[in-house]
A and B are shown apart, each in its own frame.
Chain A
């Protein structure tokens, strides 16, 4: 079936979303609900000596105040990257220790939100402060080489191929440059929100998440109850972008408050608090050394990184897993280090490693093109590869060259003049055209899919995946409609909520490559089962003829090469994904971005009026939502390159610009034309549906394309993000 393109189809949940009836967690509003608000630490590191909640408790309407004195029995969730479920290992408000500014120190619950907020404001704490440090400029003692750390190997070993250092030393052309990426925050517009309620010893949690199963199993661990007594409901998350990929620090607090009050509790973490109460993209710096011969063949790439982590967890990095694979470079050496800082544990934010890594490498590749006097597209095409430089294995599919060629034609790249500063727009502004490529691992997670056909023709389908705007519901509908010939109105999807099939983490762009092949397989299983029944016109008629009220089939599916044991991880809420290296091949999605920037000649404002992006994500199951996702990824790249920075005042720790006015996200007026196209060639080796991932790769390479375009417009190489007016004045 993967040889047939999918038709354009409307987003299936758009009808609910445009009417405002799609329910997000905080939309749970009803009488009797109590409201909770967090109070947070004002020091960057130390201990709470004394906490005074008397004024808070005295606020009319306040029903409960929880501090570490009340919550010291609550267990930690464990760290997502260390066998646990939480975005970090520590659980705030369970001890007097303060690891970072903004760490919650109390929860105030009241009959209404206003009273709870006032109570939280009145919480007073005396602290014993300790020295802290919050930037990459840390003493050597706080720098951990990942290769020498306890992090599991080979996953977090240094990536090596060939003799990079020798090849670099011998290279005719050598480019060496340092790049800096600031901390940034995901900031989905839906704030972290939980409604928790207990009924007959059973806890129900409403929370927008990418990982309902981790919340369920993590809460079970924290509360000391069986996972069977917990249901997590997340039919639709208001954006995730990596922030909602695990058990948040506030969730258990809402659950515990609801248990003590014996009434449902709603806890919405404020926007300012979210900057400190959940993960973020860590600050990182990158040293690139790129060697090439005079013919333009890249022969060596050395990529060394320092990336921020917390003092209590090692948030591992995999920047070089991407940089090693952009081109067919025989000599590669990566070295990744972590810098301990006094922050909450950083984590995944869209294209977490790949976007910063591509920024560093692709700016250097552009520099190489200029050193060689070679067209940047031609140089990239000349260094493409069919085999993975690290493992030597073939790619399951790689249409990067196709992305570059189609993009160049669509953009009109042949009208570009190479000389920096040589192109002018009609309005007199400097015009720059830049290109960069991106890639992202095509991962796959284990899944259980269940399909029920009722005799009345209704179809219910469940698989482990969460809808957070990427359009997975629409993609699943497309498969069910095509495979079963069922009307869209007869389909019910049960995704994002526990109690059906295991709701594995949806992240790392593996959602489609996990859910879609599983959907196809369970459809085939249903069709096979129906073959034994009397032949009739429709599937439902066969059931009725056989006197069966319904037929339910289930399939378990593992990624190629995944061991059987992975199903145990799947059912216990732990990550159960793999890729990009599978037995016999390596899988990546690819993209090429072409960007036009205009630099206003006097005040040097940078605008991006036009972007062309061509992506290879295998077979496109839902063309419409895929196009939207690709455009969204481009806008993320624009934001990351030109706007977003989480500011740190080293004296205070935490993040200073913790709101949506000062943390500058792109607005409508920042965004021009974004023209997208897909290669839409199936990758049948990775799965029968031929699908790879899209959400993350769509952002990878946008930032360097912008930086390269800025260089083309101005002659300036800017290697620290974001690029702002002060960099060009």
Chain B
């Protein structure tokens, strides 16, 4: 019982923390912070901005944001990382897919403030530093897994996660787990082939 959102003192009548713990702990929260995570100190009034710390593609960033800002708009407008794209702004197309603490998420439906303290990887951060390409990027080229290219960064970020999650057992499983990424040009066949190709290389690598 450390910090309170309202800054008031602990109410002894309220439900205690220990009562609320679940007995078994077999999985951990993806975005879990230390139990002592700061509650507040973020508000600056209705029009104020909020301090947010992110590690983006390995670089620490400290930003002053409108609390309403999505992670997608923050990446694009504040950090000029425009690889992640806006295709719907409602989690319905997948073009904004990035990795948050290693997991693929829709950055348009993620409040940037909620990602405070998290590690974000975007398409700009997946290539090795030697200037070569990630095997998934190369496979997208090799299998012509794109046309206009607008959904491509989201497809690639989803595809990398799809392999890491182990959802590449067969073509139907890949199709199912890639269905959150719309491609209006219709490059689905190439994307499937690219993922099958890159999956073996990622495992080998």
Direct contact of A and B (CB under 8 A): yes
* A23-B82, A660-B92, A668-B191 known; A469+B149 contact, CB < 8 A: yes
Instruction: Write out, one digit per residue, whether chain A residues 638-669 have a CB within 8 A of any chain B CB (1) or not (0).
Output: 00000000000000000000011100011111
Contacts of A236 in B (CB 8 A): 148-149
Chain B 114-156 residues near chain A, CB threshold 8 A: 122-124, 127, 133, 137-138, 140-142, 144, 146-153, 156
Structural contact, B127 and A19, CB atoms closer than 8 A: yes
Instruction: Write out, one digit per residue, whether chain B residues 90-126 have a CB within 8 A of any chain A CB (1) or not (0).
Output: 1011010000000000000000000000000011100
* A113-B73, A115-B66, A660-B92 known; A29+B82 contact, CB < 8 A: yes
The distance from the CB of B156 to the nearest CB of chain A, in whole angstroms, is 6
- Select A189's contact among B93, B141, B174, beta carbons within 8 Å: B93
Contacts of A270 in B (CB 8 A): 89
Contacts of B189 in A (CB 8 A): 631, 671, 673-674
Q: Is the C-beta of A69 less than 8 angstroms from some C-beta in chain B?
A: no
Q: Which of B11-19, B20-28, B178-186 makes up part of the contact surface?
A: B178-186
The distance from the CB of B132 to the nearest CB of chain A, in whole angstroms, is 11
* A17-B146, A239-B150 known; A632+B185 contact, CB < 8 A: yes
The distance from the CB of B143 to the nearest CB of chain A, in whole angstroms, is 9
Q: Which of A338-346, A435-443, A620-628 makes up part of the contact surface?
A: A620-628
Residue of A nearest to B91 (CB): A661
Contacts of A667 in B (CB 8 A): 179-180, 182
Q: Which of A8-16, A387-395, A496-504, A711-719 makes up part of the contact surface?
A: A8-16
- Select B151's contact among A19, A189, A241, A470, beta carbons within 8 Å: A189
Structural contact, B175 and A669, CB atoms closer than 8 A: yes
Structural contact, A188 and B182, CB atoms closer than 8 A: no
Structural contact, B178 and A238, CB atoms closer than 8 A: no
A669 CA / B171 CA spacing, docked (Å):
9
Residue of B nearest to A629 (CB): B147
Q: Is the C-beta of A485 less than 8 angstroms from some C-beta in chain B?
A: no
Structural contact, B181 and A239, CB atoms closer than 8 A: no
Structural contact, B188 and A635, CB atoms closer than 8 A: yes
Contacts of A674 in B (CB 8 A): 189
Structural contact, A190 and B92, CB atoms closer than 8 A: no
Q: Is the C-beta of B192 less than 8 angstroms from some C-beta in chain A?
A: yes
Contacts of B84 in A (CB 8 A): 20
Structural contact, A239 and B124, CB atoms closer than 8 A: no
Q: Is the C-beta of A401 less than 8 angstroms from some C-beta in chain B?
A: no
Contacts of B87 in A (CB 8 A): 189-191, 271, 660
Contacts of B2 in A (CB 8 A): none
Residue of A nearest to B123 (CB): A20
Q: Is the C-beta of B35 less than 8 angstroms from some C-beta in chain A?
A: no
Contacts of B179 in A (CB 8 A): 667-669
Structural contact, B150 and A188, CB atoms closer than 8 A: yes
Structural contact, B144 and A624, CB atoms closer than 8 A: yes
Instruction: Write out, one digit per residue, whether chain A residues 521-538 have a CB within 8 A of any chain B CB (1) or not (0).
Output: 000000000000000000
Residue of B nearest to A274 (CB): B88
A666 CA / B151 CA spacing, docked (Å):
14
Q: How many residues of A contact B (CB 8 A)?
A: 65
- Select B150's contact among A16, A24, A635, beta carbons within 8 Å: A24
Contacts of B66 in A (CB 8 A): 112, 114-115
Interface core residue of A17, A19, A238 (most chain B CB under 10 Å): A17
* A19-B137, A20-B83 known; A113+B147 contact, CB < 8 A: no
- Select B141's contact among A10, A33, A241, A635, beta carbons within 8 Å: A10
Instruction: Write out, one digit per residue, whether chain B residues 54-97 have a CB within 8 A of any chain A CB (1) or not (0).
Output: 00000000000010110001001100101111111110110100
Contacts of B127 in A (CB 8 A): 19
Chain B 162-194 residues near chain A, CB threshold 8 A: 172, 174-176, 178-192
Residue of B nearest to A59 (CB): B47
The distance from the CB of A670 to the nearest CB of chain B, in whole angstroms, is 8
- Select B186's contact among A10, A17, A636, beta carbons within 8 Å: A636
The distance from the CB of B192 to the nearest CB of chain A, in whole angstroms, is 7
Chain A 6-58 residues near chain B, CB threshold 8 A: 10-11, 13-24, 26-27, 29-30, 33, 35
* A15-B141, A24-B85, A665-B184 known; A660+B148 contact, CB < 8 A: no
Residue of B nearest to A238 (CB): B150
- Select A660's contact among B77, B93, B174, beta carbons within 8 Å: B93
Residue of B nearest to A631 (CB): B189
A24 CA / B189 CA spacing, docked (Å):
24
Structural contact, B123 and A19, CB atoms closer than 8 A: yes
Structural contact, B85 and A189, CB atoms closer than 8 A: yes
- Select B47's contact among A10, A24, A60, A669, beta carbons within 8 Å: A60
Contacts of B147 in A (CB 8 A): 239, 469-471, 625, 628-629, 632
Contacts of A13 in B (CB 8 A): 149
The distance from the CB of B37 to the nearest CB of chain A, in whole angstroms, is 25
A465 CA / B95 CA spacing, docked (Å):
26
Q: Is the C-beta of A365 less than 8 angstroms from some C-beta in chain B?
A: no
Q: Is the C-beta of A634 less than 8 angstroms from some C-beta in chain B?
A: yes
Instruction: Write out, one digit per residue, whether chain A residues 109-138 have a CB within 8 A of any chain B CB (1) or not (0).
Output: 000111100100000000000000000000
Contacts of A659 in B (CB 8 A): 88, 90, 92
Residue of B nearest to A636 (CB): B186
Structural contact, B144 and A628, CB atoms closer than 8 A: yes
A-B contact pairs, 20 of them (CB 8 A): A17-B152, A18-B146, A19-B83, A21-B83, A26-B76, A27-B82, A29-B82, A60-B47, A113-B73, A189-B87, A190-B87, A191-B86, A237-B148, A271-B92, A471-B147, A628-B144, A632-B186, A660-B87, A661-B90, A668-B191
A interface residue numbers (CB < 8 A to B):
10-11, 13-24, 26-27, 29-30, 33, 35, 60, 112-115, 118, 187-191, 236-239, 241, 268, 270-271, 468-471, 624-625, 627-629, 631-636, 659-661, 665-669, 671, 673-674
Given A14-B149, A190-B85, A668-B174, 6 other A-B residues pairs in contact with their CB atoms under 8 A: A17-B146, A20-B153, A188-B184, A628-B147, A661-B90, A667-B182
Q: Which 7 A-B pairs have the closest CB atoms?
A: A20-B83, A469-B148, A238-B150, A17-B149, A632-B186, A635-B186, A469-B147
B interface residue numbers (CB < 8 A to A):
47, 66, 68-69, 73, 76-77, 80, 82-90, 92-93, 95, 122-124, 127, 133, 137-138, 140-142, 144, 146-153, 156, 172, 174-176, 178-192
